[in-house]
Each structure stands twice: as structure tokens, then as C-alpha cells.
Amino acid sequence: MDFKLDLLPEEKRNHECLLELETLSFGQMRSDHMFLCDYEDGEWKDPRVVPYQDFSIAPGAMVLHYGQAIFEGAKAFQRNDEIFTWRFDKNAERLNESARILCMPEIPVDLQVEALNRLLDVERDWCPNIEESSLYIRPFMFATQDSLGVHPSANYTYCIMLSPSGPYYAGGFSNTVTLLVTEKFHRATPGGTGAAKACGNYAASLRAQEFAKSKNCAQVLYLDTTNTYLEEVGAMNHFHIKKDGTIIIPEFTDTILKSITSQSVLDLFPNARQERIKIADFLEQIENGDIIEAGGFGTAAVITPVGKYVTDAGKEYVVGNGEIGEHTRAIYDKYVSMQRGDTEAPEGWLVQVPRY
């Protein structure tokens, strides 16, 4: 497939603004260009890198009415004047799983990977070299057919945009967060879209997130619809660590998004495993000291340590001493070291972007 490049002249590019910054917030900046590709007549067409710009879609575009929209999140890092992506093939595979769940067309993994590489090659100067920063990658697909009938769209747009970003939470890995354990809200139901990275899932989580903030909590720790089992946090998978050092991640079901960070930890650490976790047992084990550390795994934050859980009744469960534990720190250090290329990663995880 031929890739078209419609690029800004160098004098109109804005990457030099990064040189003036010592810190970055998450997801606020945009690079100069983005990648686009359209699905029409049963095939993907016209792959192109163009200046970052607004979309023009019909008021009747089906994404605006029936929510056919999915996305991914990945990262690229700079090392020795080269750019490296981290496990983007896994993101491409997961995007296709989301597409299948929402009756959207799959995009060949090779096409997704080359599209990203073409864009990153153009935007090399946008990859930051600031502490705890990365070039955050946001691929997404949405329905564009102008139709008010309730059925899968015939047309779609796939886009990749880039955002030089710092830590997801202010302060980065240096702080713990508090999670609300509530029976009032649920993220997903069996047989639904919980295993997809669907935009509607995140829209539905906003009410719960605002409720959590009203209780001075960062996010909600979601339970299954019977309020029996622990599932995941709004923006990340959950984990906890037992006093023998075992890392426990909830079993993946069709109501849990398979975090690529979680899957990587399962591959990297022999003492990591998955279990179905009853929330009553989990809270009891925090109280009796069997659970000594806990947190969340996700692309944006990598690892978010949890210091405390609060229930609807206001009861607080402090994990360990409420601070970042040595096991959590060791996982974070090893993972980030591999992403940065300071420690050797498994083959195919850290991939250098070619120069075209």
C-alpha cells in the first residue's frame, strides 16, 4: 500500500516548543502531523500522513449517534537519537479485538505498525527527553457513514495522533492514590463490551469517576455486577502483592480490558499469576496484612501505587503503611528500564522505528 505524505514545511512546524519545557502534562500537546486511512467499499484506502487538523464529518455520521468508536494507547521513547516503540503490535491486535466486539472492520496489524512508523519517522523531533515522559500514541477508529439506521457503519476513519506527555497522575510514580470500592456503579456486564477499548465504556465511567472524586478518591475499583468479585479500575487493570511477594492480577474475563502492561508483567515475573478475587477476601487480607501492596497497571501511568481503599460506608483500608512498597517499586523500575532501553527487553518488545 502506498503511503502519501502531505507535510508542513519546516518553518511551520512547532516541535521546538519542547526545548523550552522542563516538565510535561499528560495528553495536552499535539505533534504537527497525524496519520489517516479510510475504510470504503470493504477495504482500507488512502493511507496518508497529513498536518494535524480538525475532521469534517456529516451530522448524521453514525459515530455521533450509535457510538461506534474504539481507541488504543501506546508509547514511543527516545534513545541515542533514535525512536523506539513499546509492544505496539499488541496494541494493534487489541484494537482488532475491540473492532470485532463493536462490529467494525479489522485493520491488518502490519498496516497499523507501518502507519505508526511512517508517522513517527516524520515526527522524530516531537519525542521528548524529559524525566518520566514519552511520546504518547493514540490510534483510534470511528464510524463515518451518514445514516440513522441502527446497524454497523459501512465507512470508517482510522487515525493515529501523537502527544508528547509526562506522567498520567501529577507527581508521577512518587505518590500513591486512594480508590473507592463501591457497589453503586459497574463498569461492564457479561456479554457486553467490557473487553473492548470502546469510547462508550469511558463515557459511562465518568459518572462513577466524579462520584469517586466527591469522596476524595482518584478512581473507582469496579466490582462485577453481583458485587462479589474485584474486576478493574476505571483507567487500568488492578493488582495486589501478597506478603510472600506473589503478584496477583484478576483473571481476564469479557468484562475486563486486557492491559498490555498486565500481560507484560505476567510474562516477566514468574511470581505473577491471575486469580478470581472476592472483594470481601481482598479487604480482609489488607486488614490482616496478607496483602502488603496494591495498585494498577496501564499504559498511560505504567504503575499506579494504591495506598488506601475506601468503601461506600466510609471504612478505610490502608495497604501496608500506605506508601509505595518495595515490590511495586521493583516492578516499575524493571519495566521502565526496559522501555527506556537501559535493560534488555524480551525480543520484539522494544522496536526501533525505521528511517524511510
For the record, the C-alpha cell of 325 comes out as 512498597
Ramachandran bin of 122, using left for φ above 0, alpha for ψ from -120 to 50, beta for the remaining angles: alpha
What's the one-letter identity of residue 326?
Answer: E
* Residue ranges for the chain with pLDDT beneath 50: none
- CA dist., res. 98 & res. 191, Å (int): 13
pLDDT of residue 172: 78
In sequence order, what E strands does 166-218 have?
Answer: 177-181
pLDDT of residue 329: 97
pLDDT of residue 174: 86
For the record, the C-alpha cell of 13 comes out as 512546524
DSSP 289-329: TSEEEEEEEETTTEEEEEEEEEETT--EEE-TTSS--HHHH
pLDDT of residue 242: 98
- pTM, two decimals, is 0.97
